[in-house]
């Protein structure tokens, strides 16, 4: 489980800065020492499921085998891209589907 140095409120603040379009995503990510991909994942999760998805988890989520297989099938059949499948099936990271 990844440990984030930022709290949920801080992540929300950064997302709101992005939404205000004050600066580019790349510039905002750099300002907060984040990867652009991390910031885009936060934004996508927030848009799809709300602020609770940004909380720092204290325990592992158990992913059902059925759900993981649905995600793998969606990627293999090219129904979905790897990144969008992780969002659709609420999978924490693309590496879960790659394994």
Q: pTM for the complete prediction?
A: 0.60
Q: Tens digit of pLDDT for each residue in 21-48?
A: 888 999 999 999 999 998 998 998 898 8
Write the CA distances from 26 to 2, 21, 23, 44, integer angstroms: 22, 11, 8, 16
Q: Tens digit of pLDDT for each residue in 68-77?
A: 788 888 888 8
Instruction: Calculate the CA dihedral of residues 1, 61, 77, 48 and round it to 10 degrees.
Output: -90
Write down the pLDDT at residue 1.
46
Write the CA distances from 14 to 33, 42, 51, 55, 77, integer angstroms: 11, 10, 12, 14, 35
Q: Tens digit of pLDDT for each residue in 75-91?
A: 888 888 878 877 777 77
Write the CA distances from 55 to 64, 79, 80, integer angstroms: 21, 29, 26
pLDDT at 98 over 60: yes
């Amino acid at each position: 489980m990844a440990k984030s140095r930022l709290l949920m409120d801080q992540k929300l603040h950064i997302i709101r800065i992005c939404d205000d379009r004050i600066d580019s995503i790349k510039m905002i990510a750099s300002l907060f020492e984040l990867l652009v991909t991390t910031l885009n994942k936060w934004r996508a999760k927030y848009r799809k499921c709300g602020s609770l998805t940004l909380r720092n988890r204290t325990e592992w989520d158990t992913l059902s085998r059925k759900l993981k297989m649905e995600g793998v099938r969606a990627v293999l059949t090219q129904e979905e891209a790897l990144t969008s499948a992780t969002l659709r099936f609420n999978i924490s990271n693309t590496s879960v589907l790659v394994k």
